[in-house]
Amino acid sequence: MSLGPYASFIVTSYAAAAVVVAILIGWVVFDYRNQTQRLRELERSGVTRRSGRSAVDTP
């Protein structure tokens, strides 16, 4: 497979894009875990979600 005179640029560009995508995936996973931990802490402290109540439960 020959990429011609721009092979190093092409390979570097694909590698940089792969690194950026991997970082974004890691960021999303980290943030998801962080948010679920925060929700657990709030629910443990007695705070409930409004979306968890039905229309009949409104005060």
Query: Tens of pLDDT along 12-23?
Result: 999 999 999 999
CB 10 within 8 A of CB 3: yes
Q: Is the pTM of this model over 0.85?
A: no
Residues of the chain with pLDDT under 70: 1, 52-59
Q: Rounded distance, CA 25 to CA 32, Å?
A: 11
